[in-house]
Structure 1
């Protein structure tokens, strides 16, 4: 498709229509008249050869194509906004820039407060958006790094040479404090026979600790899978299950859920979470400032008590 033949003015109407699923609400959002937005919708339908918004009674639903376009359109709008908001200089005291960081809920639980306070203190008009990373975005990395300021992830998940180490941690096992099947120390037999709760347990997203257990011939008997580390402690409490958790998070929620924190009976590789970004932002003054803020936060998180 020849980009010169496209009407780029249709991007914002498309984004608003897919988000609002209503011509009237999308028109209000863009401060346009309903006839003007209806005309844009007609052009979009001709362009894609699809209804996009399908009427069902008094409401509209997204067509299958529109569903697939929704996230890509959002990314395109973000990229356009970042492109045209770029500045030769960056003044944090006056900037209203929106910094967008993707990551797992664990990283935001441990480091989010410190990052947000540091950004707000120096850039009171800026906005910081923490967004939970999706499997699709992770699998599209490092290309998907173009649409955000960066991602906070452990080493080994993303192929990029641009990173800043943010926090160190280690894997521990959590169990309900009244689990009578456990002795004073965890054994390899416990690892192999008791049921497990695992987070992000997909074929391509096993944690390094699970892979290490498998290498040693220990296959965890997975009873519950959750997409969130934050929900894992509640799924362990009151059961005979074991859970795999980062020590910082385990310490933060231990008393709330009545958990024991247990050492692995076999050696486990440490966790090193880093902030990863695209080389496009190497010379961006605002991004350079953000990386400086993250470096200061990382220094304060040097010990397990730093972010709990």
Structure 2
């Protein structure tokens, strides 16, 4: 049996078949599809050639389907339904009713400052949406976005990948945290030399032992002692609160930690530049309705944070 190439089939013929089958009239089918009767008659002729069967025969005032037409109808209807669903899903995204899992590439800092408000919003208006937060290596973020492993990424991206878009969300800066009544903080103002002499916690997902603070101190011929490196920001307050270690962290996170009775936030005695936290997504998903909604919602709640 000779195989039929899909590229040779006009999808409109299947739509015409559906209309004639349901209307039992070439005239009514033409009106349903906003076609002239000659055009619909021509489509029926092409359908008969394609399937090698009359498909519809006039019986009285109706066009009755042949046995072959009745046999192929369920498959044609199912195929058209699938095509319509696929097209509809690509165009429309209803956060109030759609069920969808989103994967967001994020370190614990960006998850900490963005996700609580985002989830609070979604629980109220998008109860069927689920989220997965995934840590990532910065040099792989473009690959992960292109593969669809993550829907978007949050972080600092000074050199965005070529096939991505990058949108700034907010500015951040460093501050220090220490335990209440830390002896170094009782001596005010805190000098840069005293600050460098303290034992420090460095939060780093790369596992290195040098941060931006160290580069600034090096310009002043100073060096600090990194007593602990750790990839998880959220454990830092408990470590700092129970020791003489201090940590330099982003101000948004520090403002939350300052609510703890045991933690004090202090200004650093050195000049440090602020940085931009951004959102990155693949150009392949730029027009996707669900991705557009996610980006807009993340932007809204990231920028609305009162601790910026």
Given the alignment, which residue of 147, 151, 154 partners 2:153?
A: 151
1:13 is matched with which residue?
A: none
- Cα deviation for residue 113 of structure 1 reads 1.1
TM-score of the two chains, using structure 2 as the length reference = 0.63
2:179 is matched with which residue?
A: 176
Contact 1:169 1:304 in 2 (8 A): no
1:113 is matched with which residue?
A: 116
Contact 1:108 1:130 in 2 (8 A): yes
Distance 1:206 1:281 in 2: 36
Is 1:221 paired with 2:217? no
C-alpha change, 1:173 and 1:99, in structure 2 (3 Å) is same
- Counterparts in 2 of 1:56-71, with a 5 A limit? none
C-alpha change, 1:203 and 1:94, in structure 2 (3 Å) is closer
Given the alignment, which residue of 179, 182, 186 partners 2:190?
A: 186
Contact 2:141 2:153 in 1 (8 A): no
Contact 1:201 1:225 in 2 (8 A): no
- Cα deviation for residue 196 of structure 1 reads 0.4
1:127 is matched with which residue?
A: 130
Structure 2 unaligned blocks of 5 or more = 1-85
Distance 1:120 1:164 in 2: 25
Distance 1:238 1:288 in 2: 44
- Cα deviation for residue 153 of structure 1 reads 0.5
Aligned residues: 219
Cα deviation code 1:174-225 (max 9, x no counterpart): 1122221331232111232111011116466854444333344332210011
Distance 1:100 1:84 in 2: 23
Distance 1:156 1:205 in 2: 21
Given the alignment, which residue of 84, 104, 118 partners 1:101?
A: 104
2:264 is matched with which residue?
A: 260
C-alpha change, 1:207 and 1:123, in structure 2 (3 Å) is farther
Structure 1 unaligned blocks of 5 or more = 1-82
Given the alignment, which residue of 195, 199, 209 partners 1:195?
A: 199
- Tell me the C-alpha RMSD between the 2 structures: 2.7
Distance 2:159 2:175 in 1: 20
Contact 2:113 2:302 in 1 (8 A): no
Aligned partner of residue 99 in structure 2, secondary structure: coil
TM-score of the two chains, using structure 1 as the length reference = 0.63
Cα deviation code 1:56-76 (max 9, x no counterpart): xxxxxxxxxxxxxxxxxxxxx
- Counterparts in 2 of 1:7-46, with a 5 A limit? none
Given the alignment, which residue of 167, 171, 180 partners 2:170?
A: 167
- Counterparts in 2 of 1:224-243, with a 5 A limit? 224-243=228-247
Cα deviation code 1:18-53 (max 9, x no counterpart): xxxxxxxxxxxxxxxxxxxxxxxxxxxxxxxxxxxx
Cα deviation code 1:259-287 (max 9, x no counterpart): 22111112111132111111111111110
- Cα deviation for residue 158 of structure 1 reads 5.0
